[in-house]
Structure 1
Amino acid sequence: MVAKNPLFRGRWTAKRFNATVINDIWPEVLFFTLVATMVYLVSEKTSHKLAISNQLLTVLGTVLGLVISFRTSSAYERYQDGRKMWTNITTASRNLAQMIWIHIPNEREDKGVQKKQTELQSIIEKKTMINLVQAFAVSVKHFLRGEEGVYYEDLYPLIAFLPRYANNPPAVQTAADRLPLWHIHDEHDVGFDGQVQNPRSAPAKDHPIQRTSSEPTHSKEKTLVDESKSEQNWKGSNRGRRSRRDSFDPEMALPQVDSEHPLKPARNPPEPSIYDYIPLLRFFKWCIRVMLRRAGPKELKHRKRKAYSEIVESNVPLEIMLVLSNYTAWLMRAGLLQPAIATGVTNNLTMLQDTLSNLERICNTPLPFAYQAHLRMSLWLYLFFLPFQIESAFKYLTIPGTAFASFLLLGFLEIGQEIENPFNYDLNDLDLDHFCLAIQRELHEITAHTSPNPAEFIFSAWNQPLAPADRRTAEQLAAVRGPYRGPDDLGEPGMDSVRRTLVKGWKDVDVMTRKL
């Protein structure tokens, strides 16, 4: 991912070249290089001269350069917008968690819609809603990657407790009573009765959660062994880093709940194939598929994840937001939120919804196909006729010159196309998993705060509030009998002396913090 250099980060493999655009443009570069070679050999080894006038070379090159620059700039702007939107999600999630955890009281009495409950019940309630804030970020991640549904290892444990049926519960549970959040999509092959129809993938009743490692190449048994030895392996720095990376499974920090459907991995990038390294083979693959489709009867289609999934219609973030909004409305009806804090909570919920809409806009608004096709065809024509125009002046240098020009121009064009949608699994895309895990850590850090009475920690021997003018501790200052007097203050004691001490502290700081 783009958090660090993806080419040289971690263990080096040939797959690291996917972080560049070489895999995508080398067939085109090779083609135009062969054209340049043909032009040079024919012009130099035969009596035929293929050179043509280069009058349009400068003009067309300038125009193409400006258009490609605009193409790359517009794609990078979308890339930056995506990162800004995730910053908004992080900020709003942090603000919501702080307001829920600190400003909602734990003491509840019977009053209107509010019912009396213990302090532990209040903490459970608030922590559950903060978990839903985390679930919102995770659901947005899956939404942007074109992954439908809620049955993922990092999402389902956070929302499994939410209501599933509109009638809570109906006498006979049917798919017609199921809320939109829990509707299963095509990959589960669900019938009208709400039951899984595919026997090969149908789990047993009360199917337990499957703890699939975030790294699909490692088996479950190896993960458990690595976890049992992780503390021992951390004794060596290099060995510790490798063991930590191999056993990395952040979903282990989530609740252990039962699922009626198998849970899919939290991060499931498509496996690279030979078509990713030799794009020219995709054409032959398409031809074979067309011929087989015409020759034989229609078979059952196998659904396979694409490297760049298209945006899907997803109601998961919306329904999580509805639950949080309903909770906020209940708090205001119960009088548990002050008006200013209620406004802040509502504003942050609105920010999350606006951010989701902006992210959807980025995914659903690609550059028009006509513009992309016309630009690529124009560039191909320019590169095709380039060796004809420069052969008479460059001779054998026409071959490396054409190769470099095609590599440069086609590379920028491909970069613009690659970063146009920065939410997939490509090495140059935004690291959405890192963003979600960072939000998870921050929310847990907020809920670790105990909200103590300020008097419990202010008047202690560790606090010197008036330093450097007065280095007595808060405990010593609070124990002083009579009015306050500064250490070197010869004036009247009391608040006047406190103010003189603060002024002296400013003077001392102003001198100590300036270089001579």
Structure 2
Amino acid sequence: MVAHNPLFHGRWTAKKFNATVINDIWPEVFFFTLVATMVSLVSKLTPHKLIISNQLLTVLGTVLGLVISFRTSSAYERYQDGRKMWTNITIASRNLAQMVWVHVPNQKGSDGATKDIKTLQGVIEKKTMINLIQAFSVSVKHFLRGEPGVYYQDLYPLICFLPRYANIREAHTEEDLLPLWHAANEYEDAHAHHRHSTNVRSAADELVGHRPQRTTSLPEHSREKTVVDEKTVVADNKSETSWFRSLTKSNGAGRRSRRETFDPERVLPDVSSERPLKPARNPPATSLYDYIPLLRFFKWIGRTIVGRAKDPLKVEARRKRKNLDAVESNVPLEICLVLSSYTAHLMQRGLLQPALATGVTNNITMLQDTFSNLDRIRNTPLPFAYQAHLRLSLWLYLLFLPFQIYAAFGYYTIPGTAFASFLLLGFLEIGQEIENPFNYDLNDLDLDAFCLAIQRELHEITAYTNPDPSAYVFNAWNQPFAPYDRRSAADLIKDGSGKYTSPHEHIVAEPGMASIRRTLVNSWREVDKTTRQH
């Protein structure tokens, strides 16, 4: 089937336009076009000819083309590696969940009510561990996006039951807080201190005190709700709501589209949190500086001349974020430790055979290896010296390009320079954009979709009832020897003799395995002849 051309498939929207690099490179293209216009007008309307030799044009152009090609290829290779790593996470999560759900037996007591209680406990235990497998991919997503901690609407409900203190049954203090929660607390203190500085939030805090927040997502309005004595205090939170606002668009009067009702966190456990939960997807807000990068220069000048206002709340938040770098918890590693501990617990109780224990351990190791490779891709950009030298070389090449081609092209120098700058700068910008494919750019990998796909597969696995094969094999719908023998499994065993006899009279064979083998050979011959096109 012929693939669709993405440029002409569907209608053009603002989202599709933003997915291109036009809005990133147009200031540079405009600048070099102005230079070409100046060179053309001065050379045409004045006696001064702004022309230089073009001896190095071909050589430098070829070298720059090769270097830019290498830059784009290396970035695309990182993009593909990131996608492969997420495929590995999906495979390992699926395999691990299948082994836990199918091969780990339910806990069984001796008789009566004890047996039922143990069975229920075993099913709850296995389903909880599969929820942790789902939490692993979600934690990897937040880790790659530079979002530390565990207080997210799609992560916290899956791991909130894990131990928080080193001494569970003894009197514990903040010094006993485990790394998984310690780092999250430091980040949340700084984050909440800055966010709750408004008058509305201050009033809400006075009412709330230490009451927990519910984990329910709010896709219809980008708001954060806090339950206070059966009343709801609503506070605007623009930094956490840009994604949900993009989902709430009308689809006709009286109708709600899929985007309006899309709320994947709604299917997660509804538990209480002692801290505000950030949304599962929190892209940075788009500003005018993203569409006109030149304005950033004037913003920097304004800050340098006027000076930055030292807000004590912001200073404290920055200080705590710096401290966070030294004690940041590795949430995916913590989850793998819990899964490994569960595997060891099963082996000690004799509930997991050694061969299956090896498979479970290998899949947990695969999750850890994949996470390490993703972290390597994220934290190993191309050296700054290489990127800076390549961009400066390209700028100089495009700056002197009009002076070298005016003698041959005249006024066509202007569109020629514009096209050359658009082409070369575009490839350079594409390489830079996909170098780290784990952020919120439109061309980045859709990590949220990957996590939701894993979630759906894990729930499909736990929906499997693991029945006895005899309950579904020997019925009237199963024709095991088709197409040569279309009798059902129930008909084959109806006589009770246990001897198979071919239904075709011209087949002369002793009832039993000899007749079965001949039927299978004839089935192969009929299938092979029927399914070949030529």
What is the TM-score when the length of structure 1 is the normalising length?
Answer: 0.87
| Equivalent position of 1:98 in the other structure | 98
- Contact between 1:146 and 1:312, CA under 8 Å: does it hold in 2? no
For 2:398 and 2:514, locate their aligned partners in 1 and report how far apart those are by CA, in whole Å.
82
For 1:229-284, what per-residue CA distance to the aligned partner results, in whole angstroms no more than 9, with x for missing partners? xxxxxxxx999995211110000010000000011100111111000000001111
Which amino acid in the other structure matches residue 505 of structure 1? S
- Contact between 1:485 and 1:494, CA under 8 Å: does it hold in 2? yes
Which amino acid in the other structure matches residue 122 of structure 1? G
User: Do structure 1's residue 472 and structure 2's residue 487 form an aligned pair?
Assistant: yes
| Equivalent position of 1:392 in the other structure | 407
Counterpart pick for 1:402 among 399, 414, 417: 417
- Contact between 2:149 and 2:187, CA under 8 Å: does it hold in 1? no
Counterpart pick for 2:475 among 445, 450, 460: 460
- Show the 5 A alignment for 1:30-109: 30-109=30-109
Residues 62, 263 of structure 1: CA spacing in aligned structure 2 closer, same or farther, 3 A cutoff?
same
For 1:197 and 1:30, locate their aligned partners in 2 and report how far apart those are by CA, in whole Å.
43
Counterpart pick for 1:496 among 509, 514, 521: 514
User: Do structure 1's residue 331 and structure 2's residue 337 form an aligned pair?
Assistant: no
| Equivalent position of 2:524 in the other structure | 506
| Equivalent position of 1:231 in the other structure | none
- Show the 5 A alignment for 1:93-492: 93-109=93-109, 118-171=118-171, 173-183=172-182, 184-189=184-189, 200=202, 204-214=209-219, 217=222, 243-293=257-307, 299-301=312-314, 313-482=328-497, 483-488=499-504, 489-492=507-510
- The worse-fitting range, judged by mean Cα deviation, of 488-497 and 443-452 is 488-497
- Contact between 1:7 and 1:17, CA under 8 Å: does it hold in 2? no
For 2:254 and 2:363, locate their aligned partners in 1 and report how far apart those are by CA, in whole Å.
40
Residues 452, 262 of structure 1: CA spacing in aligned structure 2 closer, same or farther, 3 A cutoff?
same
For 1:138-177, what per-residue CA distance to the aligned partner results, in whole angstroms no more than 9, with x for missing partners? 0000000000110000000000110111111442x43211
For 1:358 and 1:93, locate their aligned partners in 2 and report how far apart those are by CA, in whole Å.
16
SS of 2:391's equivalent in the other structure is helix
For 1:385 and 1:278, locate their aligned partners in 2 and report how far apart those are by CA, in whole Å.
24
Q: Unpaired segments of 5 or more residues in structure 1?
A: 222-236, 305-309
- Contact between 1:6 and 1:427, CA under 8 Å: does it hold in 2? no
How far off is 1:134 after superposition?
Answer: 0.2
SS of 1:150's equivalent in the other structure is coil
For 1:114-154, what per-residue CA distance to the aligned partner results, in whole angstroms no more than 9, with x for missing partners? x9952111110000000000000000000000001100000
For 2:5 and 2:277, locate their aligned partners in 1 and report how far apart those are by CA, in whole Å.
32
How far off is 1:366 after superposition?
Answer: 0.6
How far off is 1:214 after superposition?
Answer: 5.0
For 1:407-426, what per-residue CA distance to the aligned partner results, in whole angstroms no more than 9, with x for missing partners? 10001001100000000000
Identity percentage of aligned residues? 70
- Contact between 2:149 and 2:329, CA under 8 Å: does it hold in 1? yes
- Contact between 2:215 and 2:271, CA under 8 Å: does it hold in 1? no
For 1:44 and 1:292, locate their aligned partners in 2 and report how far apart those are by CA, in whole Å.
44
| Equivalent position of 1:18 in the other structure | 18
How far off is 1:11 after superposition?
Answer: 8.7
- Contact between 1:138 and 1:436, CA under 8 Å: does it hold in 2? yes
For 1:355 and 1:338, locate their aligned partners in 2 and report how far apart those are by CA, in whole Å.
26
Residues 344, 319 of structure 1: CA spacing in aligned structure 2 closer, same or farther, 3 A cutoff?
same
For 2:411 and 2:491, locate their aligned partners in 1 and report how far apart those are by CA, in whole Å.
88
Residues 100, 424 of structure 1: CA spacing in aligned structure 2 closer, same or farther, 3 A cutoff?
same
- Contact between 2:42 and 2:50, CA under 8 Å: does it hold in 1? yes
Which amino acid in the other structure matches residue 76 of structure 1? Y
- Contact between 1:101 and 1:447, CA under 8 Å: does it hold in 2? yes
Residues 272, 130 of structure 1: CA spacing in aligned structure 2 closer, same or farther, 3 A cutoff?
same
How far off is 1:299 after superposition?
Answer: 4.7
Residues 81, 55 of structure 1: CA spacing in aligned structure 2 closer, same or farther, 3 A cutoff?
same
For 2:66 and 2:11, locate their aligned partners in 1 and report how far apart those are by CA, in whole Å.
38
How far off is 1:500 after superposition?
Answer: 1.7
Which amino acid in the other structure matches residue 455 of structure 1? S
For 1:462-490, what per-residue CA distance to the aligned partner results, in whole angstroms no more than 9, with x for missing partners? 10011112111101111124322111133
SS of 2:524's equivalent in the other structure is helix
- The worse-fitting range, judged by mean Cα deviation, of 204-213 and 59-68 is 204-213
Which amino acid in the other structure matches residue 503 of structure 2? P
How far off is 1:188 after superposition?
Answer: 2.5
- Contact between 1:144 and 1:311, CA under 8 Å: does it hold in 2? no
How far off is 1:334 after superposition?
Answer: 1.0
For 2:327 and 2:449, locate their aligned partners in 1 and report how far apart those are by CA, in whole Å.
22
For 1:84-103, what per-residue CA distance to the aligned partner results, in whole angstroms no more than 9, with x for missing partners? 00000000000000000000
Residues 211, 5 of structure 1: CA spacing in aligned structure 2 closer, same or farther, 3 A cutoff?
farther
For 1:311 and 1:16, locate their aligned partners in 2 and report how far apart those are by CA, in whole Å.
40
How far off is 1:205 after superposition?
Answer: 2.8
Q: Unpaired segments of 5 or more residues in structure 2?
A: 226-231, 233-250, 319-324
Which amino acid in the other structure matches residue 499 of structure 1? R
Aligned residues: 484
For 1:398 and 1:252, locate their aligned partners in 2 and report how far apart those are by CA, in whole Å.
58
- Contact between 1:311 and 1:364, CA under 8 Å: does it hold in 2? no
Residues 379, 213 of structure 1: CA spacing in aligned structure 2 closer, same or farther, 3 A cutoff?
same
For 1:20 and 1:211, locate their aligned partners in 2 and report how far apart those are by CA, in whole Å.
35
How far off is 1:218 after superposition?
Answer: 8.2
Which amino acid in the other structure matches residue 493 of structure 1? P
* RMSD (CA atoms): 3.0
SS of 2:285's equivalent in the other structure is coil
Which amino acid in the other structure matches residue 23 of structure 2? N
For 1:342 and 1:163, locate their aligned partners in 2 and report how far apart those are by CA, in whole Å.
24
| Equivalent position of 2:239 in the other structure | none
Which amino acid in the other structure matches residue 255 of structure 1? P
What is the TM-score when the length of structure 2 is the normalising length?
Answer: 0.84
Which amino acid in the other structure matches residue 479 of structure 1? K
